[in-house]
Structure 1
Amino acid sequence: MSPFNMIVHKSAATSAKPEIARGFLGAFRFSRRAIELVWSTSHALTFALAALTLIAGLLPAGIAWVGAHIVDAVVTAAQLVRAGESPHLAAVFWLVALEGLLVTAMAAAQRGISFCQSLLRAQLGQRVNEMILEKALTLDLVHFEDSEFYDKLTRARREASSRPLSLVNRTFGLAQNLIALASYAALLISFSPWAMLILLLAGLPAFIAEAKFSGDAFTLFRWRSPETRMQLYLETVLAREDSAKEVRLFGLGPLLLDRYRSIFHKLYKADRALTLRRDSWGLGLGLIGTLTLYLAYAWIAFTTVMGRITLGQMTMYFMVFRQGQSAVSAILSSVGGMYEDNLYLSTLYEYLETPTRLPSGTATKGTDATDGIRFEHVTFTYPGANEPALDDINLHIRPGESLALVGQNGSGKTTLIKLLTRLYAPDSGRILLDGVDLVEWDETTLRRRVGVIFQDFARYQMRVGENIGAGDVSHFEDEARWREAGAKGMANEFIESLPAAYNTQLGKWFNDGRELSGGQWQKIALARAFMRTGADILVLDEPTAAMDAEAEATIFEHFRALSKNRIVILISHRFSTVRMADQIIVIQGGRIIEHGNHAQLVQQQGHYAHLFALQAKGYQ
């Protein structure tokens, strides 16, 4: 079975079929939305494109009509000369000048259309990419952890940014060719109504084949999204500085490059099979149109020889039939292209119409500021997972208290933080802050109260100060706040030693960028958390994993001094740090199995005491 035939049996191809069917039956389904999008991008350019399209549609028939009169005028003048009479050449020259003017206007119209399309392409590409990114800002975290969503996003970004203008261009092109065909019809019907019917029927076979293979191409496009995304990922791994060390050290380069080539060859086989079928059928069915054209030529020539039409009319009908056939072909091609654009645009609007959770809370203040945070029978399961990540969690943290979370990787510690910060919503149970359910809180207000450092914190390829300022976008460019937060995060000393201090470019993506050590990056992240001076909940998820034990202890003593009257939640595998917390919970399999302070948990001789003893033994 060929690679292309194989993909037809895949579920992705099967799921695409209903969309393709709807796209063929509603080839104009997205035309209105695409035109509205282009119109909102630039009123002036869209209007100019429409006007020039109208002009370009009317001019060809006028050129053919003037050309016929030129030929007839020349024939008449030649007959007068042979008869010894003086010809009226002024009329010939005026007709030639008129045709020249029309041809010039046609060239100007086509150039204007190209100009408008070029500018619209640039503006519309930016506009659609902004729409894609704006939509991304409204999506929940669960979308970004879903592979099917990434396939949807990949399809939208790869093709859909250019398709709205393509659909509009084809819509205007369809209008232009319909106008031209109507004007040709007015000329051809005077020769024979059958000529118009032949002209229309001759283009249908090629159109049907083109529409069929447009659907096949779209099916292939949807099927290949995961492989395309894998190729992009492999390119990133092979060409990015953050993975270059391991790629070279472990000799991964040839292996990953071979995998990259294998994906290409797999996709290329499917492309080649489709292209071969498409072009073979296109060539065979295109010959029908060519045969029809020359049969029409023979008919027109025979009619001229029989004296039923003049030589000028013959020339005009030749031109009109040839251009009419081109117009019919362009019309059918536009409809087929619009069908194809409709299919690809469905991926854009499928992405843009991804349902999102609308913020429903409005509370900006709790009912009991002394209550702190409560988890009441909270359960949460990741989409697609069989087991809950958190199961029946009950927890109370009062203002001014610190809580440490202990457990193996994957036990649910970070998930608990994501629920607290409303990156996820619990499946059951509720989380309260100051006596009010998080669902009822205004999300912006809630997140301003939380300063958080995740274990996989972002390392922005920006200036040092901007990396810190990211913790509070309302003071993103405030250098005084950068320095204040840098000092609290114990990052000020090494930052001042950098070439441009807080204005030093970080990362290697841009000129003069400096790379930091893991510990220095973690101090930057810690400073970022202190940018939110109004935050009364501080969350540290393995914030010092890249530091040695002594540096971590120093940072946490400093951190505790700065965190009085705040709720502090800490995730760490180092018990020298964990034991400082007012209360400790041990999570295993998504459930709290032990709860107390360090002394209580050691006395219980349970899981915590076992882990503490193991770690303490390592320091003996």
Structure 2
Amino acid sequence: MKYPPLATDSNPPSRRFFDVFRYSRRALGLVWSTSRRLALIFAVLTLLAGVFPAAVAWIGQLIVDGVVAAMGQHRETGSADTTWVLLLVAGEAGVVALIAGAQRGIATCQALLRALMGQRINLMILEKALTLKLAHFEDSEFYDKLTRARREASTRPLSLVTRTFGLVQNGISLVSYAVLLVQFSPWTVLILVAGGIPEFLAEAKFSGDKFRLFRWRSPETRMQMYLETVLAREDYAKEVKLFRLGPKLLQRYRAIFEKLFAEDRRLTLRRDSWGFALGLLGTAAFYGAYAWIALSAIRGAISLGQMTMYLLLFRQGQSAVSASLSAISGMYEDNLYLSNLYEYLEQPVPPPQGELRQGPRPGDGVRFEEVSFRYPGSEEPALQLVSLHLRPGESLALVGENGSGKTTLIKLLTRLYRPDSGRILLDGLDLQQWESEALRARIGVIFQDFGRYQFLVGENIGAGDMQHFEDRQRWEQAAEKGMAKEFIDKLPQRYDTQLGKWFKGGRELSGGQWQKIALSRAFMRTRADLLVLDEPTSTMDAAAEATIFEHFRDLSRGKMTILISHRFSTVRMADQIVVIEKGRIVEQGSHEQLMERGGQYAYLFSLQAQGYR
């Protein structure tokens, strides 16, 4: 199967291989900054674990030669001094115990670092998400990057460091083995290293293939995660059961799995088949050296103890070479996956916008001056040359079909997006020059798709102003303004009642109650002089919506308000009505003025009025 090439595939293979290791240093720095003490202990234990195996082999040679000498002494004199041999055995047992302790310590360090690193990486991913623009979250490619980063990269830095330390450990062992083996013949060292290279090349090649496959199928993996959400979340459960979507979605889930599994199976079989075939070369090298050392012992060129030591060194050395080359191959794979993490973390962050906390013309209100905007990747503009002025104390209603640009206008006003041309002013100052906190303190917004947080009632309200997130007095004041106090007082724990069904004891609210919670959230910002309601009462009946908007208007006197609603009985309350069609303002004026013109607003109002007769 052909996979899309990596970004580095225009470079020569050797350059691609070594270039990908640029993340190793960053991973080491990440582990070091997470816990210096654990990292240092890990490094020391790795060093000791690398030296001790050669010491075991050397002591083993002394034991065998000591036993042979003692046997000869016993044949000649009828007795033998075994003190030296027993001391050597005790010494080897001590070294073996130290190796076991070092390995257990390494495993402990890995377990602790794994927990710390997982938390650290997840925090880095989430902190990065807080710095990104809304456009990132409305882009499918961004979600592919986020999926890849979260799936693998949280464990890869520690894996890379573990393999790096393992490589150092095996490198130290190999040097100590080579010092002893070269006494027999330098060629044994060359045979030892060369025997593991073919299998290593296969592993490196298939690691790259596995990574390409991982990147290529991110959308399918994300679809699987989405299907799991739809099949197992309470907010989808009603329709899944009512429309009998379950079997169809489960079939689609299985189909994606079967496709991905078939690709994994092909790659696994190829990888293991080549690994086995090339691994036989290393086995042949070992037994060739085995025969050579055995023949040398038979000819008397080396002692029995030396033969035992050299065979043990060659076997352990072969394992160390294999482990070293496997570690390098694994490091290559880890670096490939770490590229996902850093690709996500290194996405450009928009520079801080503005530092001013007040405008040159206080009381001028909000002005849109020929504002145009097009969503990234879209061919059609969402807004075109929009100009309007909202003065303090005035209310503005936005009217238009779905997709006409009403919510886009609010997103620009709240600086979730930046206009492509034109400008938006608040108190005579361009929004881009306002300091973020000062600007957002001036604006309270409720969107149609407002958040229904699985938090306490009070925290759901407090989310409207993070400076007073846990201020119970503010909760109660905002709930009263948002008409939520009446039903909150009837809940078992009032403002401490858990909402939603995700957690034990949670209570679910009706749609209208949730909307009153959201309305209360907007009133948490007591300093806000611009309040925006973007169809938050769309699921209420006309009478309930009219009551809420009338209450909202009474509480917001002296403030600027923007209303978006499809109910013209509510819209007519506004001082100024703007009709938007395909991103352009086509009509503007009061209800009476627009009715007199007999244009689109009058037609739509009359059409809706007929439905209530």
Contact 1:203 1:332 in 2 (8 A): yes
Aligned-partner Cα distance in 2 for 1:494–1:13: 59
* Residues 491 and 524, structure 1, Cα contact 8 Å, conserved in 2: yes
Tell me how many residue pairs correspond in the alignment. Answer: 612
Is residue 65–residue 305 contact of structure 2 (8 Å, CA) maintained in 1?
Answer: yes
Distance (Å, rounded) in 1 between the aligned partners of 2:575 and 2:430 = 24
Do structure 1's residue 488 and structure 2's residue 481 form an aligned pair?
yes
Q: Which amino acid aligns with 1:431?
A: I
Between the aligned partners of 2:377 and 2:78, the Cα distance in structure 1 is 94
1:272 pairs with 2:265: yes
Unpaired segments of 5 or more residues in structure 1? none
Q: How does 1:442-591 map to 2 (within 5 A)?
A: 442-591=435-584
Flag the 1:17–1:261 CA change in 2: closer, same or farther, 3 A. Answer: farther
Deviation at 1:550, TM superposition (A): 1.0
Q: What's the CA shift string for 1:255-300, capped at 9, x where partnerless?
A: 0000000000110111011001000000100111111111111111
Aligned counterpart, 1:257: 250
Match of 2:33 among 30, 40, 44: 40
* Residue 163 (str. 1) matches residue 162 (str. 2): no
The one-letter code sitting in structure 1 at the alignment partner of 2:319 is S
- Cα displacement (A) at 1:23: 5.2
* 8 Å Cα contact 2:144/2:219 also seen in 1: yes
Q: Give the counterpart letter for 1:437 in structure 2.
A: D
1:601 to 576, 589, 594: 594
Q: Deviations over 1:482-526 (max 9, x none)?
A: 110000000110111111111111100011111111111000000
- Taking structure 1 as reference, are residues 19 and 412 closer, same or farther at Cα in structure 2, changes over 3 Å only? farther
Shift in alpha-carbon separation, 1:571–1:526, aligned structure 2, 3 A: same
Counterpart in the other structure of 1:295: 288
Could you tell me how far apart the structure 2 residues matched to 1:360 and 1:189 are? 66
Unaligned runs of 5+ in 2: none
Aligned match of 1:431:
424
1:28 aligns with 2:47: no
* Over 6 Å off, 4+ runs: none
Q: 1:99 to 1:234 in 2, by over 3 A?
A: same
Residues 181-239 of structure 1 show CA distances to partners (whole Å, capped at 9, x for unaligned) of 00000000000000000111111000000000000000000011100000000000000
Query: Which residue type is aligned with residue 294 of structure 1?
Result: Y
The letter of the residue matching 2:256 is I
Rounded Cα–Cα distance in structure 2 between residues aligned with 1:162 and 1:444: 36
CA–CA distance in 2 between the matches of 1:183 and 1:561? 85
Counterpart-to-counterpart distance in 1, 2:282 and 2:552: 80
* 1:87 CA displacement: 2.0
Identity of aligned residues (%): 67
Residues 1:131 and 2:124 aligned together: yes
Which residue does the alignment assign to 1:190?
Answer: 183
Rounded Cα–Cα distance in structure 2 between residues aligned with 1:323 and 1:366: 75
Q: State the Cα deviation string for residues 29-49 of structure 1 (Å, max 9, x = none).
A: 111111110011111100000
Hey, what's the Cα distance between the residues in 1 that align with 2:303 and 2:23? 47
Q: Does 1:233 align with 2:201?
A: no
What is the one-letter code of the residue matched to 1:56? A
State the Cα deviation string for residues 376-428 of structure 1 (Å, max 9, x = none).
Answer: 11111001000110111111111111100000001110000000001000111
**Corresponding residue of 2:55:** 62
CA distance in 2, matches of 1:330, 1:239: 43
- The Cα of 1:552 is off from its aligned counterpart by 1.1
Task: Supply the distance in 2 between the matched residues of 1:375 and 1:285 (Cα, whole angstroms).
Answer: 70
Amino acid in structure 2 at the alignment position of 1:35: L
Check the 8 A contact 1:405/1:570 in 2, yes or no.
Answer: yes
CA distance in 1, matches of 2:19, 2:385: 50
Q: Distance in 2 between matches of 1:73 and 1:518?
A: 87
Amino acid at match of 1:370: G
Shift of 1:86: 3.6
Other-structure match for 1:369: 362
Preserved contact between residue 297 and residue 304 of structure 2 (Cα < 8 Å) = yes
**Deviations 1:95-121 (CA, angstroms, capped at 9, x unpaired):** 111101100000000000000000000
C-alpha distance in 1 between matches for 2:498 and 2:382: 39
Amino acid at match of 1:492: K
TM-score (norm 2): 0.99
Q: Is the 8 A contact 1:464 1:503 kept in 2?
A: yes
CA distance in 1 between counterparts of 2:199 and 2:20 reads 17
* Aligned counterpart for 2:100 among listed residues 93, 96, 107: 107
* TM-score, length of structure 1 as denominator length: 0.97
Cα distance in 2, alignment partners of residues 321 and 26 from structure 1: 32
CA RMSD, aligned part only? 1.2
How far apart, CA to CA, are the structure 2 residues paired with 1:610 and 1:27?
64
Q: Indicate conservation of the 8 Å contact 1:19/1:343, yes or no.
A: no
Partner of 1:405, secondary structure, is strand
Question: Match of 2:333?
Answer: 340
Aligned 8 A contact 1:461 1:505 in 2: yes
CA drift of 1:16 comes to 7.2
Structure 2 counterpart of 1:394, one-letter code: S
Q: How far off its partner does 1:17 sit?
A: 3.9
Give the one of 389, 392, 395 matched to 1:399: 392
In the TM superposition, what is the alpha-carbon distance from 1:338 to its structure 2 partner? 0.6
Preserved CA contact (<8 Å) 2:192 2:321: yes
Q: Give SS of 1:535's match.
A: coil
- 2: distance between equivalents of 1:29 and 1:94? 49
| CA drift at 1:551 | 1.1
In structure 2, what residue type is equivalent to 1:207?
F
- Residue 26 of structure 1, CA deviation: 2.6
